[in-house]
Structure 1
C-alpha cells in the first residue's frame, strides 16, 4: 500500500489509486503522513481539521474521523497501516518508502550526488522523481498551517529539482533547452537561476545580444517591481557574457538538500 500527497491525497492499493472521501479524513491522513509516523497531539489535529472554530464536541468529532479513516484504509485490503490511538494523540505506522514525498526527496538527493560525475544517470533519476508528481502537492487538502507549510515547501523543492533537470538538459543539448528555459522564466520571473541558465544557453548558441537583453529585462523588472538589483552572481554572469568570456562558468549549482517538514 502506497500513499500519495504529490497531487491529490490518496492511496495506491493493488495497482489502483483510491482518493479519500471526506475533507476531514483527507486532512487527517495528510497530517499523519507528513509527520512520518510520529505521534501527533490531539490538540494539533483540532487546529488542522477545524482551525479556530472547532465543534463543541471536538474530542468526539476527532475520534469519529479517526475511526472512519481507519475503516477506509482497512477496506482497501491487506497491508493497511496501523492507525494508533494513544492517550495524548494519534500516529500512523508506515514505511518511509511508502510515501511518494519521501521517494521524491530520496531520488532528488541521489541525483544531486551524481550530477558532477554521471550527468546521464542524474538526469534519469530526476526524471523519475519528478514523474511522481500528479499536480500541486496536497492539492485537495484545505488544512491548517502544517499542511499549508508543507505544500509550500514541496512546491519549492519541485521547482529546484526542475531547475536541476533543466541544467542537465542544457549541458547536454543547449539549443533544445532554450524553449523550456524561456517558458520557465515567464512562469517564474524571480528565479535568478533560471534567468542565468537562459542567458548562458543563448550565449553558448552564439546569441550574445539576446543573452544581454535577457539580463537587462530581468534587471528592469526587479528594479520596477521589487526595488532591488540582481544578485552579484547574476551580474557577474552578465559581465562574463558582455566581455565574451570563452567558457562562462555554469549555473548548475544544486539547491541545498531539503529538510523534512
Structure 2
C-alpha cells in the first residue's frame, strides 16, 4: 500500500489507485501522513478538520472519522501486506505508515540524492531529479481545503518542486543539453512568469546558442511584466546577467563533465 500526496490524496494498492472520498477523510489521512509518524493531538486535528469552528461534539466526530479511515485502510489491505497502524493515544493519533511508501518522501529523497551527486555525476543527478518530478500528479494535497498543516505543506512542496526544476535545468545547461533546456525553460516560464531564476537560466541558455537578441528580449519582457504588474524592478542578479550578455562575457556557468559511468546507469 502506497500513499499519494503529490496530487490528489489517495492510496495505491497492487490493483488500483483509490481516491479518498470525503473532504474530512482526505484531510485526516493527509495530515497524519504529513506529520511523518509524529503524534497529532486531538486539538490539532479539530483545527485541521473544522478550522476555528469545531462542533460541540468534535471529540466524537473525530473518533468517527478515525474509525472510518481505519475501515478504509483495512478494506484495501492484502494478506501479504498489513495496513499501517492508526494508533490511538490519550492525546491524539499517529499513523505508522512506512515513509518510503509516501510519494512526498520519495520525491524529497530523490532531490536530496540528486543534489549530493550533482558535482560528481551531473547526468545521474538529472535522472534523479526527473524521477522525483515524475512522481507529481498535479497540485499537491488536492482537495484538503484550508487545513493549516496541509496548506502550509503544499506551499512548501510547490517551492521544492520549482527549485528541483531549476536545479535540473541548470545541470542540463552545464552538461551542454542547451536546446533541450530552452524548451523546458520556456514552458515553465509561462506558468511561473515571476520566477526570476527561470528567466535568468533562459537568458543564459539562449545566449549560449548564439541567440543573443532573444536573450535580451527575454530580459526586457520580464522587466515589463514585473514593473507593470508588480511595480518592481528585476533583481540585482538578473540585471547582472543582462550585463554579462551585453558585454558578451563568457557564460557564468562552469561546465560539468558527465561521469563515463552515467550512461550505463540510466
TM over 0.5: yes
Kept in 2, the 8 Å contact 1:7–1:136? The answer is yes
CA deviation after TM superposition for structure 1 residue 183, in Å: 2.2
Does 2:189 correspond to 1:185?
A: yes
1:12-51 Cα distance to aligned partner (Å, 9 max, x none): 2225222222221111000000000111110111111111
The 5 Å alignment of 1:1-261 reads 1-77=1-77, 78-171=81-174, 172-245=176-249, 247-250=250-253
Residues 62-99 of structure 1, C-alpha deviations (whole Å, 9 max, x = no match):
00110110111011114201101111111111222121
Deviation, 1:250, is 2.5
Q: 1:55 Cα deviation (Å)?
A: 2.0
CA distance in 2, matches of 1:31, 1:176: 38
Distance in 2, matches of 1:116 and 1:123, equals 11
* Structure 1 unpaired stretches of 5+: 253-261
Distance (Å, rounded) in 2 between the aligned partners of 1:178 and 1:121: 20
Whether the aligned pair in 2 keeps the contact of 1:237 and 1:248 (CA below 8 Å) is: no
Contact 1:27 1:143 in 2 (8 A): no
User: Residues 160-202 of structure 1: CA distance to partner in whole angstroms, max 9, x if unpaired?
Assistant: 1112222233333212322221222222111111001110111
Q: Distance in 2 between matches of 1:233 and 1:68?
A: 52
* Residues 167 and 251 in structure 1, CA contact (< 8 A), matched pair in contact too: no
Indicate the residue corresponding to 1:256 in structure 2.
none
Query: Which aligned segments of 4 or more residues in structure 1 are displaced greater than 4 angstroms?
Result: none
Secondary structure at 1:3 match in 2: strand
Report how far residue 211 of structure 1 moved: 0.9
Partner-residue secondary structure (3-state), 1:228: coil
TM superposition shift of 1:251: 9.4
Q: Secondary structure at the match of 2:55?
A: coil
2 CA distance for matches of 1:205 and 1:100?
37
Asked if structure 2 preserves the Cα contact closer than 8 Å seen for 1:32 and 1:92, the reply is yes
What's the RMSD between the two structures over aligned residues? 1.6
User: What secondary structure, in the 3-state scheme, does the structure 1 residue paired with 2:3 have?
Assistant: strand
Figure out how many residues of one structure are paired with residues of the other and give that number: 251
Taking structure 1 as the reference length, the TM-score comes to: 0.91
